[in-house]
Structure 1
């Protein structure tokens, strides 16, 4: 604060100093310029009168000499007079005497042999016998020339003129000598005035302002009781009074604002709590309204965005000690996919940390904020959600997100159990393929689709030859092994999609419904199945056991316009294969 105050004071003092220097310099400069102008003007007027007087004196002396006639002796005396005048008047350079034709009759300095006046201005004045002062320039120098005409002996006409020359350099030298002392006095006056004004400003302006700045800095720092001194009766004193009133009003306003902020903070906290609670209830309700496992996973991430912002998120679930990414959501306009890849590289490490502390945490990497949320299933951390955002996450965001993920674990578990129950209900326990009921559910839907799209639809029905004998000779455990192995071998030949439905028809009978193929492909697949089953071997206490299978093929056509008729055709083809000696593939006669 002190440094700021000194800096403010220094800047103010500098500005005032510069302003005073400018004012004093301009004032004194203008005074000197104006004074110099008028002084020079007056000086030149006096000088012109003086050289005219000197010229007149010389002219009178010349008239006296002229009365006796121009002789060398008399001109020598005139020359001495000129030298005396030039010695007394330093600014006078030359004295000429010339006739009206411009011929020089006398010159005060004889260093140059001048016979005619070579100055046009002077020559014109001499010829016209015009008395006065003429200003002219010769060889780059300025001169003043006083021309005083004189008469002839008879006083009848002008015979010539006396010319007195003054050089400007000598005038300027004289003026400089005259200016020197006034300029020194002016400079002294300038320095004295400056210090007197600065002293006055320091006492009347700078120091009071310095005090005001000190109080203002203290007030800005929070000391609203730092009142300024208001004893002065000038504008600065009035400023101090206004400042003190302002501090009092600010103090009152601060108290009122603090109360308002407290009330607003309470209201906002309650409003946010209600809003978060409503959002949390809506999110959990959305997740709990379905038992489909994929839909549950998708809703978990979708509903989470209603609680905390993110550009991408990934749901991870642990299955048999293996961490698996179940669902990912990210904005197309962001770098979410790349960031998720980065999260995948550290997923196992982050999951271990969550299992240890069972609490969410936030990390920042390359200006990207990651929020790691544990998912509790049966009171254990069995999953997590990694969300990321360009902006930071507040503690409030972390708390509500953790509350949400702490509850969604039970819905993940319910969906998982529901999926397992559906699978058990649809799967034959012995062979692991569709049971009869679920196969017919699937077959009816695929048949209707085939009718609608007019696609090729075929059925392969087969059973294990002499299976009753296998049970009777080797026992039911071996029979069960044969059925399970046959189902596994056939499953390896099929695609794992909805176009091929494989189920246990009953006992040792199996059925395959295939959509979107050809007759040739069906026959090739049936032959592959027959050959694959015949190549299987089962070790028993009575030696290795080998089995064969009979297969019947039927395709949807005009005679098989329903699923029941198509199944009947396939069953007929199967009996045809058995009648043909078993271990073969037969096609219905109506095909």
Structure 2
């Protein structure tokens, strides 16, 4: 009866601990993932809204009426098809009248009937609006746009996302972690029951057997006394009775056995702490370069190596991301030999999905697979002059089995950052990213008293290009202009180049003399005039007008600096176009 109660109590306690731990982990993980997902979603629909606003600006520049938004409607349909989360796209004026609706274009007299969105539209406030419509939650991105004269706000582009669709998508993503948690619960419970059987049932049977042997006259039949419960107490009392008779020899053997178990458990705890520390270091950043660096740095805390290299597969091509070696040894020579065999070993790892240890020329090479989405997508090659023991290989494999998710997270984060900062048509920075960088560069120029110049330019008679040759040719012109100008830049932190809007571009240059800025502007002007575009009406050549402004006492803010550059651009236009003009204030 005592055995049944003890086993039941322990089982209930372990089930409660497992349930609470796994449930709490799922709740916290789900909350953090959902929060991050909605943050990224808000940024994405703002970027989509900006793209639609740019398309609308281009349509307005052509003089097309609000009812004749064919190109805008096509882009809206493409976005709705590509992004299933987006429910509807509006174009409304500042009074809330609907000028365009993606799912029904016969609504020119309708008025936006959502108070939250209507307030944001009337106040021309850009941002994300959360609201409830017909008992359904929604997120709306409001992006105001200016009239043709760019003097006042004419209306707003509104991109609406239904939260229920997002929640439905998230619920499908939660399904797999939940199933994995259930599998872990079942497996853990099974292992716990095995441990419980080993710690309770078997010790009791062993105690009965020892008692029977002692009753039969075998006074050397000692019971296991490592347990701290009632069974252990009974065993210790029984053993004390036998030890009084069996003598000091058996006591010494038992001490040696206990010491070995303690050392093994102590080593296991040490390895677990090292593994937690290593994974914590890798998971504490989303920068892809830092993640790769920390993976190899943390590996050295787990297993010794004189050199190691991290390889990741990109589009079926195996690429060495980072290599670490001890120059005081021959590690760098050994790793070069290992790298020559990289593709062969990677193919073998994809088949085995297990670590591979090779000994060659008295050097031990450890090949560790890295799993991303349950597939071997990378590997680490480590080499050491001492052989790798099985415990080191097992610990290192446990580590590399988990770092793949951190590599994937860093890659996704880098892709999201790049997409959020890039103009879709030209491939250069968009206006939003430009201002983020420009504020930093401007303040750096103020702090270091460095020269700061800005070049603002646009394509001359661009509206005529679109009217005569069509928008595809106009898009090709803008993309080619951006590509040609990019070849003249240094692509470092001292310069930032973006599509400012429509056919207008802006380039901010720090720590460069006024003469160099003017020389670069002239080089850009000549480079654009050298471009040629074959069309059905013959070859097309375009020119550009450029305005330059420099930071000084008059241009003490970024806004004024850009305004002076814009004035210089109009000055170049007035001077006959295809020329470079410097702002009068500079």
Structure 1 position 304 matched with structure 2 position 304 = no
Deviations 1:329-382 (A, max 9, x none): 233433333333233222222222212222111122332222111111112111
Q: Which residue of 2 is the match for residue 393 of structure 1?
A: 388
1:254 deviation in Å?
Answer: 8.6
Q: Which residue of 1 is the match for residue 288 of structure 2?
A: 293
Q: Could you tell me how far apart the structure 2 residues matched to 1:542 and 1:276 are?
A: 74
1:429 deviation in Å?
Answer: 1.4
Q: Could you tell me how far apart the structure 1 residues matched to 2:328 and 2:517 are?
A: 47
Which of the numbers 458, 468, 474 marks the counterpart of 2:469? 474
Which of the numbers 265, 276, 279 marks the counterpart of 2:274? 279
Q: Could you tell me how far apart the structure 1 residues matched to 2:355 and 2:479 are?
A: 47
Q: Could you tell me how far apart the structure 1 residues matched to 2:434 and 2:443 are?
A: 14
Which of the numbers 307, 313, 325 marks the counterpart of 2:320? 325
Q: Could you tell me how far apart the structure 1 residues matched to 2:250 and 2:573 are?
A: 101
Q: Secondary structure of the residue that 2:500 maps to in structure 1?
A: strand
1:571 deviation in Å?
Answer: 0.8
1:435 deviation in Å?
Answer: 0.9
1:559 deviation in Å?
Answer: 1.7
TM-score (norm 2): 0.56
Q: Could you tell me how far apart the structure 2 residues matched to 1:577 and 1:478 are?
A: 25
Q: Secondary structure of the residue that 2:302 maps to in structure 1?
A: coil
Where do 1:535-554 residues align within 5 Å?
A: 535-554=530-549
1:253 deviation in Å?
Answer: 9.0
Which of the numbers 377, 402, 407 marks the counterpart of 2:397? 402
Q: Which residue of 2 is the match for residue 433 of structure 1?
A: 428
Q: Secondary structure of the residue that 1:356 maps to in structure 2?
A: helix
- Return closer, same or farther for 1:524/1:254 CA change in 2, 3 Å cut-off: farther
Q: Could you tell me how far apart the structure 2 residues matched to 1:512 and 1:376 are?
A: 43
Which of the numbers 537, 560, 582 marks the counterpart of 2:577? 582
User: What residue ranges of structure 1 are gaps of 5+ in the alignment?
Assistant: 1-251
1:301 deviation in Å?
Answer: 1.3
Which of the numbers 433, 440, 443 marks the counterpart of 1:445? 440
Deviations 1:525-580 (A, max 9, x none): 11111111111122233332221111111112222222112111111111111111
Q: Could you tell me how far apart the structure 1 residues matched to 2:481 and 2:302 are?
A: 52
Q: Could you tell me how far apart the structure 2 residues matched to 1:341 and 1:561 are?
A: 55
Q: Which residue of 1 is the match for residue 361 of structure 2?
A: 366
Q: Which residue of 2 is the match for residue 314 of structure 1?
A: 309
Q: Secondary structure of the residue that 1:514 maps to in structure 2?
A: strand
Q: Could you tell me how far apart the structure 2 residues matched to 1:480 and 1:254 are?
A: 93
Deviations 1:6-32 (A, max 9, x none): xxxxxxxxxxxxxxxxxxxxxxxxxxx
Q: How many residues align?
A: 341
Q: Could you tell me how far apart the structure 2 residues matched to 1:254 and 1:327 are?
A: 57
Q: Could you tell me how far apart the structure 2 residues matched to 1:524 and 1:541 are?
A: 35
- Return closer, same or farther for 1:253/1:546 CA change in 2, 3 Å cut-off: farther
Q: Which residue of 1 is the match for residue 347 of structure 2?
A: 352
Q: Could you tell me how far apart the structure 1 residues matched to 2:329 and 2:252 are?
A: 41
Where do 1:211-222 residues align within 5 Å?
A: none
Q: Which residue of 2 is the match for residue 490 of structure 1?
A: 485
Structure 1 position 528 matched with structure 2 position 523 = yes
Deviations 1:226-267 (A, max 9, x none): xxxxxxxxxxxxxxxxxxxxxxxxxx9997666444433332
Q: Could you tell me how far apart the structure 2 residues matched to 1:556 and 1:339 are?
A: 55
Q: Which residue of 1 is the match for residue 513 of structure 2?
A: 518
1:490 deviation in Å?
Answer: 0.7
The RMSD of aligned alpha carbons is 2.1
Where do 1:65-76 residues align within 5 Å?
A: none
Deviations 1:458-516 (A, max 9, x none): 11111111112222222222222211111111111111211221111111111111122
TM-score (norm 1): 0.55
User: What residue ranges of structure 2 are gaps of 5+ in the alignment?
Assistant: 1-246
1:274 deviation in Å?
Answer: 2.3
Deviations 1:421-445 (A, max 9, x none): 0011111111111111111111111
1:453 deviation in Å?
Answer: 1.7
- Return closer, same or farther for 1:286/1:578 CA change in 2, 3 Å cut-off: same
Q: Secondary structure of the residue that 2:324 maps to in structure 1?
A: strand
1:390 deviation in Å?
Answer: 2.3
Q: Could you tell me how far apart the structure 2 residues matched to 1:396 and 1:337 are?
A: 25
Structure 1 position 562 matched with structure 2 position 557 = yes
Q: Could you tell me how far apart the structure 1 residues matched to 2:484 and 2:408 are?
A: 33
Q: Which residue of 1 is the match for residue 78 of structure 2?
A: none
Q: Which residue of 2 is the match for residue 36 of structure 1?
A: none
1:399 deviation in Å?
Answer: 0.8
* Structure number with bigger Rg: 1
Structure 1 position 341 matched with structure 2 position 360 = no
Q: Secondary structure of the residue that 2:450 maps to in structure 1?
A: coil
Deviations 1:183-217 (A, max 9, x none): xxxxxxxxxxxxxxxxxxxxxxxxxxxxxxxxxxx
Q: Which residue of 2 is the match for residue 460 of structure 1?
A: 455
Q: Could you tell me how far apart the structure 1 residues matched to 2:517 and 2:337 are?
A: 47
Q: Could you tell me how far apart the structure 2 residues matched to 1:573 and 1:338 are?
A: 59
Q: Which residue of 1 is the match for residue 127 of structure 2?
A: none
